[in-house]
Amino acid sequence: MDRILDYIDNNIINNNKTSLGVIITDEKFKFNILNDLKTKYNIDILGNNIKKGLSLANKLNYKGVIFTDEIQNNKVNFKNLETSEQDYLLIDEILQLF
């Protein structure tokens, strides 16, 4: 139990990474795109229900959500929860946001 609490404390509570959520709306999503994002952000899978996923992301004060509905030319559907703007962005563009 102590190891679990230490893990949560060191990796979830005390790391200063911004949290982003991912809503799986297409099972064909390529998780290798997330590898670049994991270096800078905490990435959490929020399920496949858009309404519930957005509600959870807002409740947890996430900065943004990635929808896996469509990936074109390495662009993903991203919603910035601070500004409510939603657009298709390159991974590099997301890395520059927060």
Is residue 2 domain-resident? no
Is residue 47 domain-resident? yes
Assess whether pLDDT exceeds 90 at residue 76. no
Sequence-distant (≥ 6) Cβ neighbours of residue 93 within 8 angstroms: none
Is residue 71 domain-resident? yes
Query: Residue 46, by phi and psi: left (phi above 0), alpha (psi -120 to 50) or beta?
Result: alpha
- Per-residue pLDDT band for 65 (boundaries 50, 70, 90) equals very high
Is residue 85 domain-resident? yes
Is residue 67 domain-resident? yes
Of residues 45 and 64, which shows the higher confidence score? 64
What's 22's domain CATH number?
3.40.50.800
Is residue 13 domain-resident? no
In the chain, how many domains are there?
1
